[in-house]
Amino acid sequence: MTGIIDKMETRFGDPVEYFLPIGTEKLGMNQFIGKSLTIQWTNKIQCLHCGKTTKKSFGQGYCYPCFISIPETEDCVLNPQLCRAHEGIARDMVWAAEHCLQDHFVYLALSSDVKVGVTRKSQIPTRWMDQGAWKAIKLAKTPNRYLAGLIEMELKKVMPDKTNWRNMLKNVIDPSRDLIYEKQHAAASLSDSLSPYVLEENEIVEVHYPVLTYPIKPESVDLEKKTSISGILTGIKGQYLLFDSGQCLNVRKHGGFVVEVTDK
């Protein structure tokens, strides 16, 4: 099967089910675990927004003109505290109304360490699956992205906001970490103006991934440098395909790449 790829879609279950958008199809990836799989880049990249061929991918799948103009790549996507949609300022206010001016959650996720993150209500638990989180808990709920970003900025002073991808792929976890305790500690560090958004509920969501074996020394493959990855698919975690060689492919990073997928 050949086509342009985008980040894998997920369905929460035990384990998580993964689907790779490729061209106009969605390829179920769990079926290939334990089998031989090859992903070959065709040396072509197409913008996920306009479809034009581009020599380089920007923002995980876009040509440069789209990268600097479409709402999907606005600064607040990566830095919620920079959102100005609540002030009526955005590249596209219709898009912002659906993505920024909606309920957002600040959460704590546990993979190799506890990290803080932000996502809108409709992206739970998708966001946690995309990050390869083992467990997650909602910390606060806000009416827009900006306020969630302010809470994240305060909590970044006492905990990380990024996942260590190598440890995540090696499945380095500390079962002694208590997310309820971590939430209480984080909530106590918030300023008075932001603490009212903290949630009382303490539901912990646990995520199980379809992995046979985890790599001892994971190596992330860049298809622009090594045009193919091949071997036995031993699992999928986060947005990574794991191979028996220890090589791993970050599918989301390669959004817009036109590839050929074969199970030979």
Average pLDDT across the chain, whole number? 96
In the predicted model, what is the mean pLDDT of residues 79-99?
97
- Is residue 92 a part of any domain in this protein? yes
Query: Backbone dihedral region of 136: left (phi > 0), alpha (psi from -120 to 50 degrees) or beta?
Result: beta
**Residue 112: band (very low, low, confident or very high) from pLDDT cuts 50, 70, 90:** confident
Q: Does the structure show a pLDDT above 80 at 264?
A: no
The residues with which 138 forms a beta bridge, in sequence order, are 107
Domain count for the chain: 2
- Is residue 133 a part of any domain in this protein? yes
Q: Give yes or no: residues 107 and 128 share one domain.
A: yes
Q: Does the structure show a pLDDT above 80 at 147?
A: yes
Q: Give yes or no: residues 102 and 198 share one domain.
A: yes
Domain that holds residue 35: 2-63+211-262
Q: Give yes or no: residues 121 and 183 share one domain.
A: yes
Read off the DSSP letter of residue 176: T
Query: Two tokens at 203?
Result: 């539901």
- Is residue 161 a part of any domain in this protein? yes
Q: Give yes or no: residues 184 and 124 share one domain.
A: yes
- Is residue 236 a part of any domain in this protein? yes
- Is residue 38 a part of any domain in this protein? yes
| pLDDT one-digit tens code per residue, 228-247 | 999 999 999 999 999 999 99
- Is residue 69 a part of any domain in this protein? no
Angstrom distance (rounded) from CA 217 to CA 194: 41
| pLDDT one-digit tens code per residue, 49-65 | 999 999 999 999 999 99
Q: Does the structure show a pLDDT above 90 at 98?
A: yes
Amino acid at 140: A
- Is residue 42 a part of any domain in this protein? yes
**Residue 88: band (very low, low, confident or very high) from pLDDT cuts 50, 70, 90:** very high
| pLDDT one-digit tens code per residue, 181-233 | 999 999 999 999 999 999 999 999 999 999 999 999 999 999 999 999 999 99
Q: Does the structure show a pLDDT above 80 at 106?
A: yes
Q: 27 or 175: which carries more pLDDT confidence?
A: 27
Angstrom distance (rounded) from CA 153 to CA 128: 19
Q: Give yes or no: residues 181 and 239 share one domain.
A: no
pTM recorded for the entire structure: 0.94
